[in-house]
Amino acid sequence: MYIDLHELLMEATRKQIDLMESGELKEEMLDKAPPVLWFGNINSNSEKILTIAANPSRSEFLDKDKYYLPLGKERFRALRESEHLSDILTSANLRNEIINSFNSYFENNPYVRWFGKSVEPYNVEGFLRGLNASYYDLSMENSIKYSALHMDLLPFVTKSDFSEILREIRNKNLIQWSRGFLKKLIQVADPKLIIVFGKTNFKIFSEIFHFSIDEIHSSNWKKNNGNTINTSFSTERLFWSTPVVGLSTNLGNPIGFEKGDLQNFGKHIYSELKKRDFV
């Protein structure tokens, strides 16, 4: 089934405009930050692993003083002073620039404090190396089999953390809206594996796609410091025939993990998946 990326960007933009015009989330939106549909090269010919978290960080567009990142330091194509969200609906050129910034995210100025660096990686990237995957273009390295992409439950950048505005998100029926929208995005990416970070995010993802937490089995893994990480595996593939792994921890903020821990944890997940013929 063909899904037009321009149409998806316009669909998300129309929803963001609606959120900015009224309701509890009106003040949460950034007027120069378009929806962020994905991070990484969705056009890669490599098999893909998709990671999922809550929503894009305000740090993708704002500096520590909450000013928009200047030209040359941008992580995504932000709207200029004279541009408005409605321009995304009318300008194919603007949409192309925004979509290209999604695809080139890890080539330019990624938020390494969450995703991790390509060299001596920590954070999520360190974990992905244990799964033979990377957000970065390391296709020449024999150890890298999968190209990693990232998406979020919601594509809208907010001033507050997702957990702080979850009630308002539910009140606006955004979880229900995400069901159709995120399904289309995932179908475009066509991943071999989906990994959801964080217990709350995994619960919401399960809610979005109607698989029961009761149909989940778990595996525990101990870090070097002795603390245990619970890993949840779905016992059935979703409608796009892709297995889902839910982690009880957010590896963008891997408190208590050493660098070696993260890669070993990734190897542990990979071995558990192989036991179940998921990879």
Q: How large is the average pLDDT for residues 65-85?
A: 93
Q: In angstroms, rounded to a whole number, what is the distance separating the alpha carbons of residues 15 and 89?
A: 12
Q: Evaluate if residue 153 carries a pLDDT over 70.
A: yes
Q: Could you read off the pLDDT of 119-152 as tens digits, one per residue?
A: 999 999 999 999 999 999 986 677 799 999 999 9
Q: Which helix (H) or strand (E) holds 270?
A: helix 259-275
3-class DSSP assignment, residue 39: strand
Instruction: Mean pLDDT check: name the lowest of 50-54, 64-68, 132-136, 154-158.
Output: 64-68
Check: CB of residue 123 under 8 Å from CB of residue 116. Answer: yes
Comparison of pLDDT for 71 and 42, the residue scoring more: 42
Q: In angstroms, rounded to a whole number, what is the distance separating the alpha carbons of residues 122 and 257?
A: 9
Axis crossing angle, helix 5-21 with helix 92-103, rounded to the nearest 10: 100
DSSP 8-state assignment for residue 145:
-
Q: Evaluate if residue 277 carries a pLDDT over 90.
A: no
Check: CB of residue 98 under 8 Å from CB of residue 76. Answer: yes
The CATH code of the domain at 5-275 is 3.40.470.10
Residues 6+ apart with CB under 8 A from 252: 53, 114, 115, 123, 124, 197
Domains in the chain: boundaries:
5-275
The letter for the amino acid at 144 is: I
Of the pLDDT bands very low, low, confident and very high (cuts 50, 70, 90), residue 239 is: low
Check: CB of residue 205 under 8 Å from CB of residue 172. Answer: no
Q: Where are the beta strands (DSSP E) in the chain?
A: 48-53, 133-134, 146-152, 193-197, 216-222, 228-234, 244-247
**Closest to 157 (Cα-Cα) out of 261, 21, 61:** 61
Q: How large is the average pLDDT for residues 93-117?
A: 96
Comparison of pLDDT for 130 and 277, the residue scoring more: 130
Q: Evaluate if residue 49 carries a pLDDT over 60.
A: yes
For the entire predicted model, the pTM comes to 0.93
Question: Cα 133 from chain centroid?
Answer: 15
Q: In angstroms, rounded to a whole number, what is the distance separating the alpha carbons of residues 122 and 26?
A: 35
What per-residue confidence (pLDDT) applies to 272? 83
Q: Could you read off the pLDDT of 167-199 as tens digits, one per residue?
A: 999 999 999 999 999 999 999 999 999 999 988
Q: In angstroms, rounded to a whole number, what is the distance separating the alpha carbons of residues 191 and 48?
A: 5
What per-residue confidence (pLDDT) applies to 258? 81
3-class DSSP assignment, residue 89: helix
**Closest to 56 (Cα-Cα) out of 159, 128, 125:** 159
Check: CB of residue 55 under 8 Å from CB of residue 159. Answer: no
Q: How large is the average pLDDT for residues 3-15?
A: 96
